């Protein structure tokens, strides 16, 4: 009989962080990570495969080049699994879903691939992955996600699907924000204008992939809290251990007016969605943002200089720009080209007369 004192083995086990109750018992097999079922993988694979053609067309239109977008190969993996496949430096783009199927959603580009895409978009050789290039890659991902949302809406009937504005960052792979647990990762192969084969990874967080797979398979996205209860039968209210079933209506209070006393007719409970659904007025009321300020700039021209040339500048130095005399100037809103115009003078102040509104297609191809 034990005197209540711990044995040396139990003390050692506690110091090592091991449950002392497991001493002398065989070690249990490690539990498999949650999520990542084969049905879920097949559903995501089938959905993404149907969007590949549209994604190829989008990238070709945006870059002005023939882009081949192949795949995907969808695999359930963990963060450690994916990090083993990534190069040391990557461009990670956060494009989380914030409604419809809310949760984590990321795109991962190798640094080489990110530079190649940004160069095609900006029509600039030897590009650096600066803030402007990150904005370009964010626009690329925005178009890819937009195509996926359209396809998901058509397949699931969920019209509330939306994502946050993509944010790109060029970081060491260990710093990339990836989901925890087991998630779905789709690997694509890209062939760009340089003829090289590039890789791209798309990551769906565990909850996002599970919700999307359920919707694609025609299942409810979330089960009601009383899913296990037979809602067609009156509940046994007031049952105590050792007693039989309570008589009808016991513990349910007085019957409602007009309800027969012999027994209540109980109907299944219909639970409304907990996700707020935007109304038509909310979706179309642009007047809510009419008083928001945006930065508008007029760009006369640009040029590139070596550091030694910049340090050698002084008063009187003439800087030659890439615009010809008389050529329209660029009008930008939040650094995005929206129009062109000509410089005028108004009451001793400079102004600009709009001569051309840039089309949405040109905005994508000439994005800076």
The band of 282, judged by pLDDT with boundaries at 50, 70 and 90, is very low
The band of 184, judged by pLDDT with boundaries at 50, 70 and 90, is very high
Q: Give the Å distances, CA to CA, from 118 to 63, 136, 188.
A: 9, 6, 18
Give helix 131-156 / helix 38-63 axis angle, nearest 10°. Answer: 130
Write down the domain spans for the chain: 38-216, 293-305+322-368
Is the pLDDT reported for residue 109 higher than 70? yes
Query: In this predicted structure, what is the pLDDT of residue 116?
Result: 86
Give the distance from CA 85 to its chain's centroid. Answer: 21
What architecture (CATH level 2) is domain 293-305+322-368? Roll (2.30)
Q: 297: which residues sit within 8 A by CB, 6+ positions away?
A: 331, 332, 335
Per-residue pLDDT tens for 139-181? 889 888 988 999 899 988 888 999 999 999 999 988 888 898 8
Query: In this predicted structure, what is the pLDDT of residue 172?
Result: 92
Query: In this predicted structure, what is the pLDDT of residue 13?
Result: 52
Asked if CATH classification 3.40.50.1220 holds for the domain at 38-216, the reply, yes or no, is: no
| CB atoms inside a 10 Å sphere around CB 239 | 13
209, 183 contact by CB (below 8 A): yes
The band of 103, judged by pLDDT with boundaries at 50, 70 and 90, is very high
Per-residue pLDDT tens for 333-352? 888 888 899 888 887 788 88
Is the pLDDT reported for residue 23 higher than 70? no
Query: In this predicted structure, what is the pLDDT of residue 90?
Result: 92
Per-residue pLDDT tens for 68-93? 888 889 999 999 999 999 999 999 99
């Amino acid at each position: 009989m034990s005197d209540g004192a711990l044995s040396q083995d139990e003390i050692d086990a506690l110091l090592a962080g091991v449950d002392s109750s497991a001493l002398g018992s065989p070690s249990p097999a490690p539990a498999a990570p949650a999520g990542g079922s084969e049905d879920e993988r097949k559903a995501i694979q089938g959905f993404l495969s149907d969007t590949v053609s549209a994604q190829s067309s989008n990238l070709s239109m945006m870059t002005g080049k023939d882009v081949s977008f192949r795949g995907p190969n969808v695999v359930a993996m963990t963060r450690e699994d994916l990090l083993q496949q990534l190069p040391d430096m990557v461009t990670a783009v956060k494009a989380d879903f914030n409604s419809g199927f809310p949760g984590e959603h990321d795109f991962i580009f190798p640094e080489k691939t990110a530079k190649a895409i940004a160069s095609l978009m900006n029509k600039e050789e030897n590009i650096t992955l600066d803030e402007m290039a990150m904005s370009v890659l964010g626009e690329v991902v925005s178009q890819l996600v937009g195509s996926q949302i359209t396809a998901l809406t058509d397949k699931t009937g969920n019209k509330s699907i939306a994502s946050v504005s993509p944010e790109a960052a060029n970081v060491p792979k260990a710093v990339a924000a990836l989901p925890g647990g087991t998630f779905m990762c789709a690997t694509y192969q890209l062939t760009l204008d340089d003829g090289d084969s590039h890789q791209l990874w798309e990551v769906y967080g565990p909850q996002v992939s599970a919700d999307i797979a359920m919707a694609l398979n025609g299942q409810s996205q979330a089960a009601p809290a009383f899913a296990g209860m037979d809602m067609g039968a009156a509940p046994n209210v007031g049952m105590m251990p050792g007693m039989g079933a309570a008589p009808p209506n016991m513990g349910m209070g007085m019957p409602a007016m007009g309800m027969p006393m012999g027994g209540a007719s109980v109907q299944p409970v219909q639970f409304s969605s907990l996700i707020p659904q935007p109304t038509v007025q909310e979706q179309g009321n642009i007047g809510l943002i009419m008083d928001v300020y945006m930065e508008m700039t007029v760009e006369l021209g640009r040029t590139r200089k070596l550091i030694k040339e910049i340090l050698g500048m002084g008063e009187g130095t003439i800087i030659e720009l890439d615009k010809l005399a008389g050529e329209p100037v660029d009008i930008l809103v939040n650094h995005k080209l929206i129009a062109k115009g000509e410089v005028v003078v108004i009451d001793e102040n400079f102004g600009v007369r709009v001569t051309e509104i840039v089309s949405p297609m040109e905005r994508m191809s000439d994005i800076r």
